[in-house]
Chain A
Amino acid sequence: MKRRDFIKSSLTAVAATVTVQTIVGRAWGGSALKVGVMIPLSGPAGLFGPASKNVSQMAADDINAAGGILGRQVELVFADAGLPPAEAAQTALRLWRGDGCEAFIGMHDSAVRGALINVFKGQVPYIYCPNYEGGECARGVYYVGETPAQSVVPSIKWLTEENKLKKFYLIGNDYNWPRDTNAIAKNTIAELGGEVVGEEYMPFTVDNFDSSLAKIKETGADLVIITLVGGASVSFNRAFASFGLSDRVLRFGTLIDENTLAGIGAENSKNIYSAAGYFANVQTDDAKAFAQQYVAKFGSDAPVLNALSQSCYDGLIALDVIAEKAGEMSVASMENAAEGMEYDGPRGHATMKNKHLAMDIYLANAVGAEFKIVKSFRNMEPGNFCKA
């Protein structure tokens, strides 16, 4: 393209954008509502970026087709949350103060969430989407993901009763999510009269789990509760099966998603269980319709859905519902509106209680490289972390 042509076409584009914005602005009675979407586009969780982006866009399109949020069309501004917390916080600050984002959706780890809460200080609504360790009640933050009280506790109880489990081994990466999740798991195990025969936390750099596998075998554990993340979970589970442990020992984790399972491989997946509010294979009408819409929009080769990427959809819907109930996009009004708000989404019916969602949870068993739902826990309470 020649320079003059380029300038000409750029100017036309700018003019067109301005016109469209004016028309849209008039038609909808206000400028577009910019929503910052913080998802991992790089780093170890970058794997979940493409699907999260697709799902967020799908939610925004659905919301806009139904008239937008508070009559304003939603415009998503994507940013990378796969960076170290301090850098992600800087990015969010730029989106908020610089680009004029009026609300945030976050699908990222707990460390980044902590940093963002410090930046926002309750002045801008922030929906945190993925499952997390629970325990928070920050101002202006609404949590749509599963807590251990919803997913870990009922799953361990069910697995223990069904399989007469006695000995439990806990293994995770060394940070707050695994440690806090396991603290809750240990209470449940104690209630059930079980015994914790091992508890280990691994640095993120570890990819050789031989010594842990020897200990798991030696202690005679019946169930291994896995809070290893991503690649570490893949390496661990592959080695676990290669030692022939998978026939006798059950494995359970709340972050073993469809991608991780594909990496573990069909031949290594025997007796793996996972719990979440969504699996790509959930057979309810709502979930099937969601999956069909996703394929229709992004094609059958689109990045595979899992509970993490799907949670972005619930995040945006929750933002819409809370804002509509509050009547304005301000934390002061939304704080009151959030309590008791309800909606029906791909996960089924959800009700917000103490800033978290009461919802259905599914326990799935790996069959080859796919999850099959073996048990549904209806309308699970998230736990109350807002007590003074």
Chain B
Amino acid sequence: MEVLATFTLNFVYSSATLALIVLGLALVFGLLGVMNMAHGEFVMLGAYSAYVVQSFSANFLWAVPISIIVCALVGWLMEWAIIRHLYRRPFDTLLATWGVAILIRKGIEAIFTRDYKSINQIMPETVEILGITYPSYRLLLIAIIISLFVVLFTWYQKSKTGLRIRAMVRNPELASAIGIDTARLSSATFIIGVSSAGLAGVLLSPLVRVEPYIGLDYLLSSFFILIVGGLGSLEGLLIGSAVIGGSDALISTIFDKTAGYMSVLLISILFLWLRPDGIFSRR
């Protein structure tokens, strides 16, 4: 019984955090067709924002707006200087954003060195839930992520901006013909995408290791989720996260971590082979 409760909570936790990390990448790729190889670096920037806030002995919550400002600024600059000129050239954006990723990594390394940074938890204690002891902060994180997705989903479906974005994605020429400023909208979408990665970095920072190279790990797991879930839908993103997080957690619990990781790779290969557009295909 305890095993089942632990498994369930771990499964929900890893799916939720994966979904939060991949959200921005899916948004940017699904809506703008830009594969942002620097996505993980924005998660890293978020984590370092939390570190900076901590080194000034300020409240952890300050890291949330600071990370969003930092990522939005870097994202805006990146979109304005590079991405904007490469829309509809997926391979070129891939290379360009990979270059930016290296630049961000090295920049952070130059400022903060390669040393590991430790960010304190705001809720280090554990609670009794479903008969087991579980970290309180993880439960808080699950709640935050679920609320965030509900808000985002509603906003995308109901708001005018959501409608404009959907129009732009379906038919950019027509959208711009009826007066939608697609350039501004694309820029905004990109900035929101990378800022969400920064937010993910802040929220996860007390639980994970923090060093300049962590972005690569997040990029890799994000790819697996996009392969399974497909591009351009929130449902696909959530299901992709659940499939990847779930199979890893399940197989690792029954066998060991090597088998768990192998199952993730196998699932990704099978999807690429048999359903290259993922579970929820828009195209």
Interface residues of A (CB under 8 A from B): 44, 46-47, 50, 174, 200-203, 205-212, 214, 217-218, 231, 234-235, 238-239, 242-244, 259-260, 262-268, 303-304, 369
Contact = CB atoms under 8 A, between A and B. Distances in A.
B124 to A, nearest CB: 6
Contacts of A265: 118-120
B41 interface: no
Contacts of A259: 115-116
Contact of A202 (B3, B120, B257): B257
B182 interface: no
Contact of B120 (A234, A267, A304): A267
Contacts of B121: 242, 267
B257 A206 contact: yes
B260 interface: yes
A214 B209 contact: no
Given A262-B118, A265-B120, 17 more contacts: A47-B115, A50-B113, A201-B258, A205-B261, A206-B261, A210-B249, A231-B209, A234-B209, A235-B208, A239-B207, A244-B126, A262-B115, A263-B117, A265-B119, A266-B118, A303-B113, A304-B115
A262 B209 CA distance: 10
Interface residues of B, number: 42
9 contacts: A47-B114, A174-B258, A203-B261, A211-B256, A214-B253, A243-B133, A244-B135, A262-B116, A303-B113
Contacts of A217: 6
A202 B125 CA distance: 27
Contacts of A244: 125-126, 133, 135
A210 B10 contact: yes
B252 interface: yes
B138 interface: yes
B7 interface: yes
A293 B217 CA distance: 38
A211 B258 contact: no
Contacts of B13: 210
Contacts of A209: 257
Contacts of B190: none
Nearest to A49: B114
Contact of B10 (A46, A211, A260, A267): A211
A262 B213 CA distance: 16
Contacts of B211: 47, 231, 263
B3 A214 contact: yes
Given A200-B256, A211-B260, A238-B209, A264 B118 contact: yes
